[in-house]
Structure 1
Protein backbone atom coordinates (compact mmCIF):
# COMPACT_ATOMS: atom_id res chain seq x y z
CA UNK A 1 0.00 0.00 0.00
CA UNK A 2 1.03 3.58 -0.63
CA UNK A 3 1.06 6.02 2.29
CA UNK A 4 -0.68 9.24 1.29
CA UNK A 5 -1.40 12.55 2.96
CA UNK A 6 -4.09 15.09 2.10
CA UNK A 7 -3.12 18.69 1.39
CA UNK A 8 -5.51 19.74 4.20
CA UNK A 9 -3.08 18.24 6.72
CA UNK A 10 -1.04 21.42 6.25
CA UNK A 11 -2.16 24.95 7.17
CA UNK A 12 -4.23 26.77 4.58
CA UNK A 13 -2.00 28.67 2.19
CA UNK A 14 1.01 26.34 2.51
CA UNK A 15 2.82 26.47 -0.87
CA UNK A 16 2.78 23.23 -2.86
CA UNK A 17 6.58 23.11 -2.75
CA UNK A 18 6.39 22.93 1.05
CA UNK A 19 3.49 20.45 0.99
CA UNK A 20 5.60 18.17 -1.20
CA UNK A 21 8.83 18.79 0.72
CA UNK A 22 7.29 18.06 4.13
CA UNK A 23 5.46 15.01 2.78
CA UNK A 24 8.56 13.54 1.16
CA UNK A 25 10.72 14.17 4.20
CA UNK A 26 8.14 12.51 6.46
CA UNK A 27 8.19 9.36 4.30
CA UNK A 28 4.96 9.59 2.34
CA UNK A 29 4.55 8.04 -1.10
CA UNK A 30 1.66 10.21 -2.32
CA UNK A 31 -0.15 13.49 -1.78
CA UNK A 32 -3.86 14.05 -2.28
CA UNK A 33 -4.48 17.52 -3.69
CA UNK A 34 -7.67 19.50 -3.19
CA UNK A 35 -9.62 21.49 -5.76
CA UNK A 36 -9.89 24.96 -4.25
CA UNK A 37 -11.68 28.19 -5.01
CA UNK A 38 -9.92 30.55 -7.39
CA UNK A 39 -7.74 32.09 -4.67
CA UNK A 40 -6.57 28.76 -3.25
CA UNK A 41 -3.12 27.16 -3.40
CA UNK A 42 -2.60 24.45 -6.01
CA UNK A 43 -5.55 23.22 -8.03
CA UNK A 44 -8.37 25.71 -8.60
CA UNK A 45 -11.38 26.03 -10.85
CA UNK A 46 -9.15 28.05 -13.22
CA UNK A 47 -6.20 25.63 -13.37
CA UNK A 48 -5.22 24.89 -16.96
CA UNK A 49 -3.93 21.63 -18.39
CA UNK A 50 -0.45 23.09 -18.63
CA UNK A 51 -0.51 24.24 -15.00
CA UNK A 52 -1.79 20.85 -13.85
CA UNK A 53 1.00 19.08 -15.72
CA UNK A 54 3.56 21.36 -14.05
CA UNK A 55 2.16 20.32 -10.65
CA UNK A 56 2.58 16.65 -11.62
CA UNK A 57 6.19 17.34 -12.56
CA UNK A 58 6.75 19.21 -9.30
CA UNK A 59 5.40 16.30 -7.27
CA UNK A 60 7.58 13.87 -9.23
CA UNK A 61 10.64 15.98 -8.43
CA UNK A 62 9.93 15.17 -4.77
CA UNK A 63 9.39 11.46 -5.62
CA UNK A 64 5.69 11.74 -4.81
CA UNK A 65 2.69 10.30 -6.64
CA UNK A 66 -0.64 12.05 -7.13
CA UNK A 67 -3.39 9.44 -6.79
CA UNK A 68 -6.63 11.34 -6.07
CA UNK A 69 -8.26 14.77 -5.91
CA UNK A 70 -10.65 15.88 -3.18
CA UNK A 71 -12.54 19.14 -2.69
CA UNK A 72 -14.42 21.08 -0.06
CA UNK A 73 -16.32 23.12 -2.63
CA UNK A 74 -19.27 20.72 -2.70
CA UNK A 75 -20.33 21.74 0.79
CA UNK A 76 -21.41 25.10 -0.63
CA UNK A 77 -22.58 23.74 -4.00
CA UNK A 78 -24.17 20.49 -2.92
CA UNK A 79 -25.47 18.11 -5.55
CA UNK A 80 -28.56 17.79 -3.35
CA UNK A 81 -29.30 21.50 -2.91
CA UNK A 82 -32.93 22.63 -3.43
CA UNK A 83 -31.71 25.15 -6.01
CA UNK A 84 -31.16 23.72 -9.47
CA UNK A 85 -28.57 26.42 -10.23
CA UNK A 86 -26.54 25.49 -7.15
CA UNK A 87 -26.73 21.80 -8.04
CA UNK A 88 -25.44 22.68 -11.50
CA UNK A 89 -22.54 24.62 -9.93
CA UNK A 90 -21.73 21.51 -7.93
CA UNK A 91 -21.76 19.43 -11.09
CA UNK A 92 -19.31 21.87 -12.67
CA UNK A 93 -16.99 21.37 -9.67
CA UNK A 94 -17.01 17.60 -10.20
CA UNK A 95 -16.48 18.07 -13.94
CA UNK A 96 -13.39 20.14 -13.14
CA UNK A 97 -12.12 17.44 -10.78
CA UNK A 98 -12.55 14.83 -13.51
CA UNK A 99 -10.88 17.00 -16.12
CA UNK A 100 -7.87 17.77 -13.93
CA UNK A 101 -7.54 14.12 -12.93
CA UNK A 102 -7.45 13.13 -16.59
CA UNK A 103 -4.70 15.68 -17.27
CA UNK A 104 -2.66 14.51 -14.29
CA UNK A 105 -2.90 10.72 -14.63
CA UNK A 106 -5.03 10.48 -11.49
CA UNK A 107 -7.58 7.67 -11.38
CA UNK A 108 -10.01 8.75 -8.63
CA UNK A 109 -11.74 11.88 -7.39
CA UNK A 110 -13.51 12.27 -4.05
CA UNK A 111 -17.12 13.45 -4.12
CA UNK A 112 -19.38 14.29 -1.18
CA UNK A 113 -22.73 13.42 -2.77
CA UNK A 114 -24.99 15.70 -0.77
CA UNK A 115 -26.33 16.69 2.64
CA UNK A 116 -29.52 15.92 4.53
CA UNK A 117 -30.75 19.08 6.29
CA UNK A 118 -33.99 20.46 7.69
CA UNK A 119 -34.63 21.82 4.20
CA UNK A 120 -33.44 18.72 2.27
CA UNK A 121 -35.06 15.40 3.12
CA UNK A 122 -33.27 12.08 2.92
CA UNK A 123 -35.29 11.11 -0.13
CA UNK A 124 -34.55 14.42 -1.85
CA UNK A 125 -30.84 14.13 -1.14
CA UNK A 126 -30.81 10.61 -2.54
CA UNK A 127 -32.71 11.44 -5.72
CA UNK A 128 -31.10 14.79 -6.50
CA UNK A 129 -27.53 13.64 -5.94
CA UNK A 130 -28.02 10.51 -8.03
CA UNK A 131 -29.54 12.60 -10.80
CA UNK A 132 -26.46 14.83 -10.92
CA UNK A 133 -24.07 11.88 -10.75
CA UNK A 134 -25.85 10.18 -13.65
CA UNK A 135 -25.10 13.27 -15.73
CA UNK A 136 -21.43 13.03 -14.72
CA UNK A 137 -20.90 9.33 -15.41
CA UNK A 138 -20.36 9.68 -19.20
CA UNK A 139 -17.53 12.16 -18.55
CA UNK A 140 -15.98 9.93 -15.87
CA UNK A 141 -16.13 6.94 -18.23
CA UNK A 142 -14.63 8.90 -21.12
CA UNK A 143 -11.73 10.05 -18.92
CA UNK A 144 -11.50 6.66 -17.16
CA UNK A 145 -11.49 8.44 -13.81
CA UNK A 146 -13.54 7.00 -10.95
CA UNK A 147 -15.96 9.05 -8.87
CA UNK A 148 -15.39 8.00 -5.26
CA UNK A 149 -18.44 8.68 -3.08
CA UNK A 150 -17.23 9.52 0.42
CA UNK A 151 -19.01 8.67 3.66
CA UNK A 152 -18.99 11.85 5.75
CA UNK A 153 -20.96 13.39 8.60
CA UNK A 154 -23.71 14.60 6.26
CA UNK A 155 -26.63 12.57 7.73
CA UNK A 156 -26.64 10.54 4.51
CA UNK A 157 -25.72 6.96 3.48
CA UNK A 158 -25.63 5.89 7.11
CA UNK A 159 -25.14 2.16 6.54
CA UNK A 160 -22.89 0.08 4.27
CA UNK A 161 -25.91 -1.71 2.78
CA UNK A 162 -27.41 1.59 1.72
CA UNK A 163 -24.12 2.82 0.29
CA UNK A 164 -23.86 -0.39 -1.76
CA UNK A 165 -27.37 0.15 -3.09
CA UNK A 166 -26.69 3.81 -3.90
CA UNK A 167 -23.50 2.97 -5.83
CA UNK A 168 -24.93 -0.08 -7.61
CA UNK A 169 -27.96 1.87 -8.81
CA UNK A 170 -25.60 4.20 -10.66
CA UNK A 171 -24.38 1.14 -12.56
CA UNK A 172 -20.90 2.20 -13.65
CA UNK A 173 -17.48 0.75 -12.92
CA UNK A 174 -16.36 4.37 -12.62
CA UNK A 175 -18.53 5.06 -9.58
CA UNK A 176 -17.46 3.58 -6.26
CA UNK A 177 -16.73 4.38 -2.64
CA UNK A 178 -14.06 6.62 -1.23
CA UNK A 179 -14.17 5.02 2.21
CA UNK A 180 -13.19 7.03 5.28
CA UNK A 181 -12.30 4.73 8.16
CA UNK A 182 -12.69 7.22 11.01
CA UNK A 183 -15.93 8.74 9.77
CA UNK A 184 -18.04 5.64 10.52
CA UNK A 185 -16.76 4.81 13.99
CA UNK A 186 -19.51 6.75 15.76
CA UNK A 187 -22.15 4.83 13.79
CA UNK A 188 -20.61 1.43 13.12
CA UNK A 189 -17.46 -0.59 12.56
CA UNK A 190 -15.18 0.27 9.63
CA UNK A 191 -14.03 -3.31 9.08
CA UNK A 192 -17.67 -4.33 8.52
CA UNK A 193 -18.20 -1.48 6.05
CA UNK A 194 -15.05 -2.50 4.17
CA UNK A 195 -16.21 -6.09 3.75
CA UNK A 196 -19.68 -5.03 2.62
CA UNK A 197 -18.43 -2.41 0.15
CA UNK A 198 -15.76 -4.80 -1.11
CA UNK A 199 -14.45 -4.11 -4.61
CA UNK A 200 -16.54 -0.94 -4.80
CA UNK A 201 -13.87 0.80 -2.71
CA UNK A 202 -11.70 2.98 -4.93
CA UNK A 203 -9.63 4.76 -2.27
CA UNK A 204 -9.26 4.91 1.51
CA UNK A 205 -9.06 7.84 3.95
CA UNK A 206 -7.69 7.23 7.44
CA UNK A 207 -8.26 9.20 10.61
CA UNK A 208 -8.97 8.11 14.17
CA UNK A 209 -11.92 8.86 16.41
CA UNK A 210 -12.54 8.84 20.16
CA UNK A 211 -15.98 7.36 20.82
CA UNK A 212 -15.93 8.71 24.40
CA UNK A 213 -16.09 12.23 22.93
CA UNK A 214 -18.72 11.12 20.44
CA UNK A 215 -19.10 14.31 18.43
CA UNK A 216 -17.31 16.17 15.63
CA UNK A 217 -14.51 17.16 18.03
CA UNK A 218 -13.73 13.48 18.63
CA UNK A 219 -11.36 13.12 15.69
CA UNK A 220 -7.83 12.52 16.95
CA UNK A 221 -4.39 11.56 15.56
CA UNK A 222 -3.89 8.00 14.34
CA UNK A 223 -3.49 5.37 17.09
CA UNK A 224 -4.98 7.74 19.71
CA UNK A 225 -8.64 6.83 19.08
CA UNK A 226 -10.73 3.68 19.03
CA UNK A 227 -10.31 2.36 15.47
CA UNK A 228 -9.33 -1.32 15.60
CA UNK A 229 -6.57 -1.04 13.02
CA UNK A 230 -5.76 -4.77 12.98
CA UNK A 231 -9.33 -5.58 12.00
CA UNK A 232 -9.39 -2.77 9.44
CA UNK A 233 -6.19 -4.03 7.82
CA UNK A 234 -7.50 -7.61 7.85
CA UNK A 235 -10.65 -6.46 6.06
CA UNK A 236 -8.67 -4.52 3.45
CA UNK A 237 -6.54 -7.58 2.76
CA UNK A 238 -9.65 -9.77 2.47
CA UNK A 239 -11.11 -7.57 -0.29
CA UNK A 240 -7.74 -7.34 -2.03
CA UNK A 241 -7.25 -3.60 -1.52
CA UNK A 242 -3.64 -2.63 -2.18
CA UNK A 243 -3.91 0.99 -3.29
CA UNK A 244 -3.31 4.27 -1.45
CA UNK A 245 -4.40 4.96 2.10
CA UNK A 246 -4.50 8.69 2.65
CA UNK A 247 -4.46 10.50 5.99
CA UNK A 248 -6.82 13.44 6.45
CA UNK A 249 -6.14 15.18 9.75
CA UNK A 250 -6.28 18.67 11.26
CA UNK A 251 -2.95 20.54 11.02
CA UNK A 252 -0.87 21.08 14.13
CA UNK A 253 -1.01 24.73 15.20
CA UNK A 254 2.65 25.48 15.91
CA UNK A 255 4.44 23.72 13.06
CA UNK A 256 3.00 21.66 10.18
CA UNK A 257 5.95 19.31 9.86
CA UNK A 258 5.54 17.20 13.04
CA UNK A 259 2.03 16.14 12.00
CA UNK A 260 3.39 14.74 8.75
CA UNK A 261 6.19 12.91 10.58
CA UNK A 262 3.89 11.52 13.30
CA UNK A 263 1.23 10.46 10.82
CA UNK A 264 3.63 8.75 8.42
CA UNK A 265 5.19 6.86 11.32
CA UNK A 266 1.80 5.80 12.68
CA UNK A 267 0.58 4.74 9.25
CA UNK A 268 3.74 2.68 8.84
CA UNK A 269 3.06 1.00 12.19
CA UNK A 270 -0.54 0.25 11.19
CA UNK A 271 0.52 -1.31 7.89
CA UNK A 272 3.45 -3.22 9.37
CA UNK A 273 1.50 -4.54 12.36
CA UNK A 274 -1.36 -5.58 10.13
CA UNK A 275 1.07 -7.49 7.92
CA UNK A 276 2.65 -9.24 10.93
CA UNK A 277 -0.73 -10.21 12.35
CA UNK A 278 -1.79 -11.57 8.96
CA UNK A 279 1.37 -13.66 8.69
CA UNK A 280 0.83 -15.02 12.22
CA UNK A 281 -2.72 -16.01 11.30
CA UNK A 282 -1.48 -17.88 8.24
CA UNK A 283 1.27 -19.57 10.22
Structure 2
Protein backbone atom coordinates (compact mmCIF):
# COMPACT_ATOMS: atom_id res chain seq x y z
CA UNK A 1 0.00 0.00 0.00
CA UNK A 2 1.08 3.57 -0.63
CA UNK A 3 1.53 5.68 2.51
CA UNK A 4 -0.02 9.07 1.73
CA UNK A 5 -1.21 12.19 3.54
CA UNK A 6 -3.84 14.79 2.71
CA UNK A 7 -3.12 18.38 1.78
CA UNK A 8 -5.61 19.34 4.51
CA UNK A 9 -3.41 17.85 7.24
CA UNK A 10 -1.00 20.78 6.98
CA UNK A 11 -1.24 24.31 8.31
CA UNK A 12 -3.23 26.80 6.31
CA UNK A 13 -0.90 29.15 4.49
CA UNK A 14 1.68 26.51 3.60
CA UNK A 15 2.34 26.21 -0.11
CA UNK A 16 1.96 22.93 -1.95
CA UNK A 17 5.74 22.71 -2.18
CA UNK A 18 6.12 23.23 1.57
CA UNK A 19 3.54 20.53 2.27
CA UNK A 20 5.22 18.15 -0.14
CA UNK A 21 8.63 18.67 1.42
CA UNK A 22 7.31 18.18 4.95
CA UNK A 23 5.47 15.03 3.89
CA UNK A 24 8.66 13.64 2.38
CA UNK A 25 10.75 14.64 5.39
CA UNK A 26 8.47 12.65 7.69
CA UNK A 27 8.44 9.51 5.60
CA UNK A 28 5.36 9.72 3.39
CA UNK A 29 5.42 8.24 -0.08
CA UNK A 30 2.59 10.33 -1.53
CA UNK A 31 0.38 13.36 -0.97
CA UNK A 32 -3.26 13.97 -1.85
CA UNK A 33 -3.62 17.39 -3.44
CA UNK A 34 -6.95 19.24 -3.42
CA UNK A 35 -8.98 21.51 -5.66
CA UNK A 36 -9.84 24.62 -3.62
CA UNK A 37 -12.02 27.68 -4.16
CA UNK A 38 -8.87 29.79 -3.97
CA UNK A 39 -5.20 28.88 -4.07
CA UNK A 40 -2.77 27.03 -6.28
CA UNK A 41 -5.25 24.50 -7.69
CA UNK A 42 -8.81 25.70 -8.37
CA UNK A 43 -11.64 24.88 -10.80
CA UNK A 44 -10.14 27.58 -13.02
CA UNK A 45 -6.84 25.70 -13.27
CA UNK A 46 -6.00 24.06 -16.58
CA UNK A 47 -4.52 20.60 -17.05
CA UNK A 48 -1.30 22.15 -18.37
CA UNK A 49 -0.98 24.11 -15.12
CA UNK A 50 -0.56 20.82 -13.26
CA UNK A 51 2.83 20.04 -14.77
CA UNK A 52 4.42 22.31 -12.18
CA UNK A 53 3.17 20.04 -9.40
CA UNK A 54 4.05 16.86 -11.27
CA UNK A 55 7.62 18.11 -11.65
CA UNK A 56 7.69 19.26 -8.03
CA UNK A 57 6.53 15.89 -6.74
CA UNK A 58 9.03 14.10 -8.96
CA UNK A 59 11.91 16.22 -7.70
CA UNK A 60 10.89 15.75 -4.06
CA UNK A 61 10.15 12.05 -4.49
CA UNK A 62 6.40 11.80 -3.90
CA UNK A 63 3.57 10.13 -5.78
CA UNK A 64 0.26 11.86 -6.56
CA UNK A 65 -2.20 8.94 -6.64
CA UNK A 66 -5.39 10.79 -5.66
CA UNK A 67 -7.02 14.22 -5.89
CA UNK A 68 -9.76 15.58 -3.62
CA UNK A 69 -11.97 18.62 -3.21
CA UNK A 70 -14.17 20.06 -0.50
CA UNK A 71 -16.14 22.16 -2.98
CA UNK A 72 -18.85 19.52 -3.14
CA UNK A 73 -20.24 20.80 0.15
CA UNK A 74 -21.00 24.19 -1.42
CA UNK A 75 -21.66 22.86 -4.91
CA UNK A 76 -23.03 19.31 -4.65
CA UNK A 77 -23.63 17.32 -7.81
CA UNK A 78 -27.06 16.31 -6.52
CA UNK A 79 -29.53 18.46 -4.61
CA UNK A 80 -32.68 20.59 -4.91
CA UNK A 81 -31.08 23.57 -6.69
CA UNK A 82 -30.33 22.79 -10.36
CA UNK A 83 -28.02 25.79 -10.80
CA UNK A 84 -25.85 24.76 -7.85
CA UNK A 85 -25.80 21.16 -9.06
CA UNK A 86 -24.80 22.24 -12.56
CA UNK A 87 -21.79 24.05 -11.10
CA UNK A 88 -20.96 21.05 -8.92
CA UNK A 89 -21.05 18.74 -11.92
CA UNK A 90 -18.83 21.10 -13.89
CA UNK A 91 -16.32 21.18 -11.01
CA UNK A 92 -16.19 17.38 -11.10
CA UNK A 93 -15.64 17.35 -14.86
CA UNK A 94 -12.86 19.93 -14.60
CA UNK A 95 -11.25 18.15 -11.66
CA UNK A 96 -11.18 14.85 -13.53
CA UNK A 97 -9.01 16.57 -16.13
CA UNK A 98 -6.75 17.98 -13.43
CA UNK A 99 -6.48 14.57 -11.79
CA UNK A 100 -5.51 12.99 -15.09
CA UNK A 101 -2.88 15.68 -15.61
CA UNK A 102 -1.10 14.83 -12.34
CA UNK A 103 -1.38 11.10 -12.96
CA UNK A 104 -3.91 10.51 -10.18
CA UNK A 105 -5.99 7.37 -10.44
CA UNK A 106 -8.91 8.49 -8.22
CA UNK A 107 -10.78 11.75 -7.63
CA UNK A 108 -12.78 11.99 -4.39
CA UNK A 109 -16.41 13.09 -4.68
CA UNK A 110 -19.01 13.65 -1.96
CA UNK A 111 -22.15 13.48 -4.13
CA UNK A 112 -24.52 15.54 -1.98
CA UNK A 113 -26.48 15.64 1.27
CA UNK A 114 -29.96 14.49 2.26
CA UNK A 115 -31.83 17.33 4.02
CA UNK A 116 -35.33 18.09 5.26
CA UNK A 117 -36.03 19.61 1.86
CA UNK A 118 -34.25 17.01 -0.27
CA UNK A 119 -35.43 13.49 0.39
CA UNK A 120 -33.40 10.31 0.52
CA UNK A 121 -35.18 8.70 -2.42
CA UNK A 122 -34.68 11.82 -4.55
CA UNK A 123 -30.98 11.83 -3.67
CA UNK A 124 -30.66 8.17 -4.56
CA UNK A 125 -32.33 8.49 -7.95
CA UNK A 126 -30.42 11.68 -8.78
CA UNK A 127 -27.13 10.07 -7.76
CA UNK A 128 -27.69 7.17 -10.13
CA UNK A 129 -28.60 9.46 -13.02
CA UNK A 130 -25.85 12.03 -12.50
CA UNK A 131 -23.02 9.56 -11.97
CA UNK A 132 -24.07 7.34 -14.85
CA UNK A 133 -23.46 10.43 -16.97
CA UNK A 134 -20.26 11.46 -15.17
CA UNK A 135 -18.94 7.92 -15.46
CA UNK A 136 -18.37 8.50 -19.16
CA UNK A 137 -16.28 11.61 -18.41
CA UNK A 138 -14.31 9.69 -15.79
CA UNK A 139 -13.60 6.85 -18.20
CA UNK A 140 -12.49 9.32 -20.86
CA UNK A 141 -10.10 10.91 -18.35
CA UNK A 142 -8.91 7.52 -17.11
CA UNK A 143 -9.64 8.57 -13.52
CA UNK A 144 -11.97 6.85 -11.07
CA UNK A 145 -14.67 8.91 -9.38
CA UNK A 146 -14.42 7.74 -5.77
CA UNK A 147 -17.74 8.33 -4.01
CA UNK A 148 -17.26 8.82 -0.27
CA UNK A 149 -19.57 8.69 2.73
CA UNK A 150 -18.88 11.79 4.85
CA UNK A 151 -21.73 12.20 7.34
CA UNK A 152 -23.99 13.46 4.56
CA UNK A 153 -27.01 11.38 5.68
CA UNK A 154 -26.78 9.39 2.46
CA UNK A 155 -25.52 5.88 1.65
CA UNK A 156 -25.56 4.97 5.31
CA UNK A 157 -24.77 1.28 4.98
CA UNK A 158 -22.18 -0.73 3.05
CA UNK A 159 -24.91 -2.76 1.36
CA UNK A 160 -26.55 0.39 0.03
CA UNK A 161 -23.20 1.86 -0.97
CA UNK A 162 -22.25 -1.27 -2.89
CA UNK A 163 -25.74 -1.43 -4.39
CA UNK A 164 -25.75 2.09 -5.80
CA UNK A 165 -22.32 1.62 -7.37
CA UNK A 166 -23.58 -1.54 -9.03
CA UNK A 167 -26.75 0.24 -10.16
CA UNK A 168 -24.76 3.12 -11.65
CA UNK A 169 -22.83 0.38 -13.44
CA UNK A 170 -20.04 2.58 -14.72
CA UNK A 171 -16.54 1.07 -14.41
CA UNK A 172 -15.03 4.42 -13.44
CA UNK A 173 -17.54 5.23 -10.66
CA UNK A 174 -16.41 3.38 -7.56
CA UNK A 175 -15.79 3.95 -3.82
CA UNK A 176 -13.38 6.10 -1.83
CA UNK A 177 -13.59 4.54 1.62
CA UNK A 178 -12.90 6.49 4.82
CA UNK A 179 -12.12 4.22 7.76
CA UNK A 180 -13.00 6.74 10.48
CA UNK A 181 -16.17 8.19 9.01
CA UNK A 182 -18.16 4.98 9.45
CA UNK A 183 -17.32 4.36 13.12
CA UNK A 184 -20.46 6.09 14.48
CA UNK A 185 -22.74 3.79 12.49
CA UNK A 186 -20.77 0.72 11.53
CA UNK A 187 -17.62 -1.37 11.51
CA UNK A 188 -15.01 -0.42 8.91
CA UNK A 189 -13.77 -3.96 8.33
CA UNK A 190 -17.32 -5.04 7.44
CA UNK A 191 -17.66 -2.11 5.01
CA UNK A 192 -14.35 -3.07 3.40
CA UNK A 193 -15.33 -6.69 2.83
CA UNK A 194 -18.76 -5.74 1.46
CA UNK A 195 -17.45 -3.02 -0.85
CA UNK A 196 -14.57 -5.25 -1.92
CA UNK A 197 -12.87 -4.31 -5.15
CA UNK A 198 -15.16 -1.32 -5.58
CA UNK A 199 -12.75 0.46 -3.20
CA UNK A 200 -10.22 2.42 -5.25
CA UNK A 201 -8.78 4.67 -2.51
CA UNK A 202 -8.78 4.75 1.29
CA UNK A 203 -8.67 7.51 3.91
CA UNK A 204 -7.19 6.80 7.33
CA UNK A 205 -8.80 8.68 10.22
CA UNK A 206 -9.60 7.65 13.78
CA UNK A 207 -12.71 8.37 15.83
CA UNK A 208 -13.47 8.06 19.54
CA UNK A 209 -17.14 7.35 20.17
CA UNK A 210 -17.03 8.35 23.84
CA UNK A 211 -16.54 11.98 22.79
CA UNK A 212 -19.89 11.77 21.04
CA UNK A 213 -21.09 10.63 17.66
CA UNK A 214 -22.02 13.30 15.18
CA UNK A 215 -19.40 15.75 16.41
CA UNK A 216 -16.21 16.64 14.58
CA UNK A 217 -14.44 16.64 17.96
CA UNK A 218 -14.66 12.85 17.95
CA UNK A 219 -11.91 12.63 15.36
CA UNK A 220 -8.60 11.99 17.10
CA UNK A 221 -5.04 11.13 16.15
CA UNK A 222 -4.45 7.71 14.61
CA UNK A 223 -4.37 4.89 17.20
CA UNK A 224 -6.17 7.05 19.79
CA UNK A 225 -9.72 6.17 18.78
CA UNK A 226 -12.00 3.19 18.22
CA UNK A 227 -10.99 2.14 14.71
CA UNK A 228 -10.09 -1.60 14.91
CA UNK A 229 -6.89 -1.20 12.94
CA UNK A 230 -5.85 -4.87 12.93
CA UNK A 231 -9.27 -5.85 11.57
CA UNK A 232 -9.13 -3.04 9.00
CA UNK A 233 -5.75 -4.15 7.70
CA UNK A 234 -6.84 -7.78 7.61
CA UNK A 235 -9.90 -6.81 5.56
CA UNK A 236 -7.89 -4.64 3.15
CA UNK A 237 -5.43 -7.46 2.59
CA UNK A 238 -8.30 -9.93 2.15
CA UNK A 239 -9.81 -7.91 -0.72
CA UNK A 240 -6.38 -7.47 -2.31
CA UNK A 241 -6.21 -3.71 -1.83
CA UNK A 242 -2.74 -2.30 -2.51
CA UNK A 243 -3.48 1.34 -3.38
CA UNK A 244 -3.04 4.58 -1.45
CA UNK A 245 -3.98 4.87 2.21
CA UNK A 246 -4.16 8.60 2.88
CA UNK A 247 -4.12 10.08 6.36
CA UNK A 248 -6.68 12.88 6.49
CA UNK A 249 -5.92 14.64 9.77
CA UNK A 250 -8.03 17.72 10.41
CA UNK A 251 -7.60 20.25 11.76
CA UNK A 252 -3.82 20.58 11.93
CA UNK A 253 -2.25 21.34 15.29
CA UNK A 254 -2.39 25.08 16.09
CA UNK A 255 1.15 24.94 17.51
CA UNK A 256 4.09 22.96 16.14
CA UNK A 257 1.94 21.48 13.35
CA UNK A 258 4.85 19.40 12.10
CA UNK A 259 4.38 17.18 15.16
CA UNK A 260 1.03 16.00 13.75
CA UNK A 261 2.72 14.98 10.50
CA UNK A 262 5.48 13.19 12.40
CA UNK A 263 3.06 11.39 14.75
CA UNK A 264 0.78 10.41 11.88
CA UNK A 265 3.69 8.95 9.94
CA UNK A 266 4.83 6.85 12.89
CA UNK A 267 1.30 5.64 13.59
CA UNK A 268 0.81 4.68 9.95
CA UNK A 269 4.06 2.71 10.03
CA UNK A 270 2.72 0.79 13.02
CA UNK A 271 -0.64 0.19 11.33
CA UNK A 272 1.00 -0.90 8.08
CA UNK A 273 3.48 -3.13 9.90
CA UNK A 274 6.56 -1.29 8.74
Asked if Structure 1 and Structure 2 have the same fold, meaning a TM-score greater than 0.5 normalized by the shorter chain, the answer is yes
Residue 270 of structure 1 is matched in structure 2 by 271
Q: Is structure 2 residue 46 aligned with structure 1 residue 48?
A: yes
Q: Give the SS at the match of 1:74.
A: coil
Deviations 1:216-272, CA, capped at 9 Å, x for gaps = 220000000011100000000000001110000111111221111110110000010
Q: 5+ residue gaps in structure 2?
A: none
Distance of 1:119 and 1:14 partners within structure 2: 38
Is the 8 Å Cα contact of residues 66 and 106 (structure 2) preserved in structure 1?
yes
Residue 253 of structure 1 is matched in structure 2 by 254
Distance of 1:172 and 1:125 partners within structure 2: 18
Residue 191 of structure 2 is matched in structure 1 by 193
Residue 5 of structure 2 is matched in structure 1 by 5
Q: Give the SS at the match of 2:246.
A: strand
Q: CA deviation at 1:130?
A: 2.3
Deviations 1:105-164, CA, capped at 9 Å, x for gaps = 111100001101111111111122222212211111111110000011011101000001
Residue 66 of structure 2 is matched in structure 1 by 68
Q: 5+ residue gaps in structure 1?
A: 274-283
Q: CA deviation at 1:173?
A: 1.5
Is the 8 Å Cα contact of residues 87 and 132 (structure 1) preserved in structure 2?
no
Is the 8 Å Cα contact of residues 30 and 64 (structure 1) preserved in structure 2?
yes
Alignment of 1:11-90 (within 5 A): 11-37=11-37, 39-40=38-39, 42-90=40-88
Is the 8 Å Cα contact of residues 34 and 69 (structure 1) preserved in structure 2?
yes
Q: CA deviation at 1:78?
A: 1.1
Distance of 2:71 and 2:257 partners within structure 1: 23
Distance of 1:256 and 1:67 partners within structure 2: 24
Residue 277 of structure 1 is matched in structure 2 by none
Q: Give the SS at the match of 1:212.
A: helix
Q: Is structure 2 residue 134 aligned with structure 1 residue 133?
A: no
Q: CA deviation at 1:61?
A: 1.1
Is the 8 Å Cα contact of residues 129 and 168 (structure 2) preserved in structure 1?
no
Q: CA deviation at 1:35?
A: 0.5
Residue 207 of structure 1 is matched in structure 2 by 205
Q: Give the SS at the match of 2:211.
A: coil
Q: Give the SS at the match of 1:123.
A: helix
Residue 244 of structure 2 is matched in structure 1 by 244
Is the 8 Å Cα contact of residues 148 and 202 (structure 1) preserved in structure 2?
yes
Distance of 2:53 and 2:103 partners within structure 1: 12
Q: How many residue pairs were aligned? A: 271
Q: Cα RMSD between the aligned structures?
A: 1.0
Distance of 1:167 and 1:212 partners within structure 2: 32
Deviations 1:64-114, CA, capped at 9 Å, x for gaps = 000111100010111222111111101011111101011111111000011
Residue 281 of structure 1 is matched in structure 2 by none
Distance of 1:214 and 1:185 partners within structure 2: 11
Structure 1 moving runs of 4+ over 2 Å: none
Is the 8 Å Cα contact of residues 70 and 111 (structure 1) preserved in structure 2?
yes
Is the 8 Å Cα contact of residues 207 and 219 (structure 2) preserved in structure 1?
yes
Q: Give the SS at the match of 1:183.
A: coil
